[in-house]
Amino acid sequence: MKRKLLAVLLTGMLVVSSLALVACRNDDGGAGEAPAVVDDTDDPDPANGDDPDPAPVDVGDRVEIEFWNGFTGADGQQMEVIVQDFNNSQDEIHVTMQLIPWGEYWESITVGVQTGIMPHVGAIHFDDLPKFAYLDVIIPADNIVDMMGLTAADFPDGYWEASLYEGHIWGIPLDFHPVVMFYNRAILEEAGIDVPTTGDEFIAAATALTGDGQWGVAIPVDSNGFMRMVFSRTLLHQFGGHLVNPDGLTYAFNSPEGVQALQLLVDFIHYYEISPPEVDSAWEMFTAGLTAFHFDGPWNILGFDANEDLDYGIASFPQFGPNYAVWAGSHQLSLMNVRDATPEETHAAEVFIAYVIENSVEWARAGQVPALNRARYSEEFLAMERLQPIAAMFDYMVLCEYPSPWWGDGFDYIFSDELVGALLGTMGVQEALDNSVEFVNAMTAELAARFGRN
């Protein structure tokens, strides 16, 4: 399957190469020194079925491209395996992967449009596609769509649309990763408690499991990531609310439904007392066996697996409101706007993206559910039993609402001091939400005005 796909894709590579063969970027138009921490590896791994003695390759006859991403956790190790597999499966293209912490990564690719220090392929969160398209950080991926024969029917509902902006596809969906509920299997079994599925069941279980230095759950009061996942696109939608208005530039989470959602988290801490009032690291508390439940993303799976003392399970996020909904993110693989990229390099990047998407079941080993339907419905993925509760949630996943180039940037500031005050019990929930909405609306308007876009 893999070699057959590459044979088809590389046909286009040979056509382009017949015009002008360029092995790698020169000093004038190259990517230069990347601010990265991890290079790719050419060393085969026999444990993964690699040939320990691959045929020698004339490096002067292959095209060199770079792939940057923010997979700096255990998931990055699995992506390294995929890149290595691609490099070992053919000799026309060689990919070097750089792993950069997400915060530095976003800054690097934005500045890279001016400096020329850019990869050919980048991993982009789907709700950032409109912004990076508008800023010319990425270029359309329509050729990959044609190459692979992709349509909206090849992905879950909404994922194709999330990749569209002004008539073009700007990234090919690689995965989806919803917020899930991890649970300590040993703690629940010892107490004779079943895994909760409803809000009432969760509160009852967490209450029963709190005491003697142990907590039901840990709610971090200063985590923007937690509030993005759990408050703004899970609980808010479960209670029937919306994060933004249809203009994509103003926020609406200070609604009565927003009050219900935030009040529930406040009550976890101050009314039900199933969470400690101050949490340094919810992740560390769960791995240490100090909490029975943990709300987070499936990218933590490999990290939890590395802890031999942690006996854990994965379940769907409970339903607290009248509607079932969960936050979901998605990584897209995009073509970056590399200064003076040759036709060979651009096509090589397209071939590499197509390969990774087609073989995305391998990415599932890092806990990420493939977005490509045929990978998700493959026998190989269906045999990954613990990922099936995650895959079953895609009908209820909340993607970005009414995207505009700047709504995601305002969203980054949703967790302002006001929401911290609400969770600490020093500010009323409605007041906190009103102040937060005012703040992020101003931030979004400033960004839109700065870049001349409404």
Q: What is the pLDDT of residues 245-284, one digit of tens each?
A: 887 778 899 999 999 999 999 999 999 999 999 898 999 9
Answer whether residue 50 shows pLDDT above 60.
Answer: no
Q: What is the pLDDT of residue 49?
A: 45
What's the whole-model pTM score?
0.81
Q: What is the pLDDT of residue 450?
A: 75
- C-alpha–C-alpha distance, residues 311 and 137, integer Å: 43
What is the CATH architecture of 179-327+392-450?
A: 3-Layer(aba) Sandwich (3.40)
Q: What is the pLDDT of residues 180-202, one digit of tens each?
A: 999 999 999 999 999 999 999 99
Domains 2-174+330-383 and 179-327+392-450 are alike in CATH topology = yes
- C-alpha–C-alpha distance, residues 247 and 229, integer Å: 22
Domain boundaries defined on the chain:
2-174+330-383, 179-327+392-450
Homologous superfamily (CATH) of 2-174+330-383 is Periplasmic binding protein-like II (3.40.190.10)
User: Binning pLDDT at 50, 70 and 90, where does residue 43 land?
Assistant: very low
Q: What is the pLDDT of residues 422-439, one digit of tens each?
A: 999 999 999 999 999 998
Q: What is the pLDDT of residue 36?
A: 35
Average pLDDT over residues 69-96: 95
From the CA atom positions of the chain, what is the Rg in Å?
23
Q: What is the pLDDT of residue 223?
A: 79
Average pLDDT over residues 37-49: 41
Answer whether residue 135 shows pLDDT above 70.
Answer: yes
